[in-house]
Amino acid sequence: MPQPYDARAILKIDGNDNFRFLQDLVTNDLAKLKEGLIYAALLGPQGKFLFHFFLFKRGESIFLDCASSEADAILQRLNMYKLRRDVHIENTDLSVSRGLGQAPEGAFADPRHVGLGWRLYETTQIEDDVDWDALRIELGVPEHGRELTTDSYILEHGFERLNGVDFRKGCYVGQEITARMKHKTELRKGLAKVRISDEVPLHTPITANGKTIGYVASQSDGKALAYLRFDQAKGDIVAGNAMITEVEPL
């Protein structure tokens, strides 16, 4: 059976300073809101992942689509940065529907990957029978609490490939570290698609030649996303009692 999609919350961000406020915080360029839905993250000062979400605009209001489990923490973090800016943030009764194939009127293309279909924001939700976890594993798309943790760097988790970061927009929280990783270092760790012989608990350590080289994240039908050191993913690779094979860095 398809796994249920995490419940979502939609925050509405109003006020004369809403655009500039968010532009100074998130990893993507809000100028792209003219084109449709954008994917972005909010980082800590040391460049590590805190939250990811989608942003879209209706009129002068900007809406933020995030996991319900993260909504209160995101709201608290945004209010911390608000200071005296003319910004007002509130919850809405909007729901998220998504699907593949022909998009309904008013839907946005998922900006992360064409294979993820569309997202629609209305007060009622359209049911679907897509196994979204299996699909995102196949496409190499990370999710909060699984691949993405507060120890994560977004470039190691494919945010450039997934259109979630802009290197021309200027400063935002964590920008300096992210830019340095982009221009001055070679990524030696990151996400990979793998084959796994048996299902194991989330974040089971992966070992190779007696050394821990990463962990297993999302799994579905013998496939998984793993975070690991690419240069050490050689020889017999195991996670618990499972064998890891067919390592494909993303």
- Verify that 202 and 170 share a domain, yes or no: no
Say whether pLDDT at 127 is over 60.
yes
Question: What is the arithmetic mean of pLDDT over 174-194?
Answer: 92
- Give 2's Cβ-side CA count (13 Å radius): 12
- State pLDDT tens for residues 167-183: 999 899 999 999 999 98
Q: What percent of the chain has pLDDT over 90?
A: 91
- Verify that 57 and 72 share a domain, yes or no: yes
Residue 165 domain-assigned? yes
- Verify that 213 and 178 share a domain, yes or no: no
- Verify that 40 and 99 share a domain, yes or no: yes
- Verify that 16 and 127 share a domain, yes or no: yes
Identify the pLDDT of residue 6.
Answer: 67
- Verify that 216 and 166 share a domain, yes or no: no
- Verify that 69 and 150 share a domain, yes or no: yes
pTM of the model: 0.94
Residue 157 domain-assigned? yes
Q: What percent of the chain has pLDDT over 70?
A: 98
How many independent structural domains does the chain possess?
Answer: 2
Q: What is the mean pLDDT of the chain?
A: 94
Residue 153 makes CB contacts below 8 A (sequence gap 6+) with 47, 48, 49, 177, 178, 181
Say whether pLDDT at 4 is over 70.
no
For residue 77, what are its two tokens?
Answer: 């973090």
pLDDT band for position 109 (cuts 50, 70, 90): very high
Say whether pLDDT at 150 is over 50.
yes
Domain residues for the domain of 126 are 8-184
Question: What is the arithmetic mean of pLDDT over 31-50?
Answer: 97
Domain-terminating residue out of 130, 157, 184: 184
Domain-terminating residue out of 184, 206, 228: 184
- Verify that 169 and 193 share a domain, yes or no: no
Say whether pLDDT at 129 is over 80.
yes
pLDDT band for position 36 (cuts 50, 70, 90): very high
Residue 1 domain-assigned? no
Is 206 within 8 Å of 214 (Cβ atoms)?
yes
